[in-house]
Amino acid sequence: MGENREYQRPFLIRIADQLLPSLVTALAVGWVSLKVMEERVTANAAKMAEIEVEVSKAKSAIDIHNIQIAQLQERNLAVAERLNVSIQSLNDTLKQLDSRLRSVESSKR
């Protein structure tokens, strides 16, 4: 009679009974895979946060260097302007000396 009862159960319930262990196993495997992926995502998020901090530090360092470069360029420009003035002054002095020398030479003749 036990066998008879088994055959009396609806077809879909018998299939469900046969598939249930496989479905439970698949669900367990899927859950474990999900947890592994969750751990990876968490680890990747932590790495991304570290990378973002490093990028931020690098950007700050670049900004500082750019400011220093701009300051150096300003200083160089100021030095170049002073040098230009000095060179002009030296040129003027040389012209005056040349003029005096010519004057002395012409007076000797």
pLDDT tens digits, one per residue of 75-101: 999 999 999 999 999 999 999 999 999
Cβ neighbours of residue 6 closer than 8 Å, sequence gap 6 or more: 14
Give the model's pLDDT for residue 49.
97
- The domain ranges of the chain are 2-108
Give the Cα separation of 67 and 75 in Å (integer): 12
For the question of whether the overall pTM of this predicted structure is more than 0.85, the answer is no
Regions of the chain where pLDDT drops below 50: 1
Give the model's pLDDT for residue 11.
84
Tokens of 43: 């680890």
